[in-house]
């Protein structure tokens, strides 16, 4: 006996309502994880580190934090990529050796490579605490990766990108997947 049209319509409405509710819940969680990430307080650390990419938004925040909290060292991820032009130019025009600026090239041009490189820099310089600047959508995942690679105090500070709703949705999808990946495949577990 075939199901009635009313029963199919009711089941379809329930599935649709569940899917919409799930999407809305995910969006609320994503906003909290990837947009509303500003720390309650910021304090002085041994170094401020700017992660690669979106340097036009991240580098000014890193420099502001360095000046405002009198942080002695600015560390810049040097990637020679399009989105990192401002940081790459800062590295190319700085005279080295320079105790106030360190430029590093991550072994892999991704956040996992940066986390490993930052761990080595922390150890080599004897830093006990660092401030890491990255885009707000990237703070949660990057912070988790870096903390997996060091026992130093890691303070995350967000720069705030100017994205349209479609770009935010794309970042939410990418960062949700990345956060799941970091949770399932931790970095630096053998260190």
pLDDT of residue 6: 67
Both tokens of residue 188? 């630096």
Let me know: does 78 contact 107? Beta carbons within 8 Å.
no
Spell out the SS3 assignment of 55-121.
HHHHHHHHHHHHHHCCCCCEEEECCCCHHHHHHHHHHHHCCCCCCCEEEECCCCCCHHHHHHHHHHH
- Tens digits of residue pLDDT in 36-79: 888 888 999 999 999 999 999 999 999 999 999 999 999 999 99
DSSP state of 166: H
Average pLDDT taken over every residue of the chain: 91
pTM above 0.85?
yes
Written as six digits, the tokens of 97 are 């050796």
| Residue whose pair of structure tokens reads 């991240």 in the numeric block | 58
pLDDT at position 7 over 70? no
pLDDT digits (tens, 9 = 90+) for 74-93: 999 999 999 999 999 999 99
């Amino acid at each position: 006996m075939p199901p009635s049209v009313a029963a199919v319509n009711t089941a379809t409405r329930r599935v649709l309502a569940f899917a919409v509710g799930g999407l809305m819940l995910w969006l609320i969680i994503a906003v909290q994880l990837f947009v509303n990430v500003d720390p309650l307080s910021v304090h002085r650390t041994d170094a401020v580190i700017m992660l690669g990419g979106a340097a036009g938004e991240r580098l000014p925040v890193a420099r502001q934090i360095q000046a405002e909290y009198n942080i002695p060292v600015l560390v810049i991820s040097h990637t020679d990529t399009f989105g990192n032009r401002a940081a790459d130019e800062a590295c190319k025009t700085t005279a080295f050796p320079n105790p106030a600026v360190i430029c590093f090239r991550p072994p892999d041009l991704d956040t996992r490579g940066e986390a490993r490189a930052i761990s080595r820099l922390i150890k080599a310089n004897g830093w006990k605490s660092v401030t890491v600047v990255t885009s707000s959508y990237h703070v949660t995942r990057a912070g988790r990766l870096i903390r997996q690679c060091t026992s130093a105090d890691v303070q995350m500070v967000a720069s705030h990108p100017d994205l349209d709703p479609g770009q935010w949705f794309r970042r939410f999808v990418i960062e949700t997947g990345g956060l799941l990946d970091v949770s399932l495949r931790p970095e630096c577990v053998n260190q």
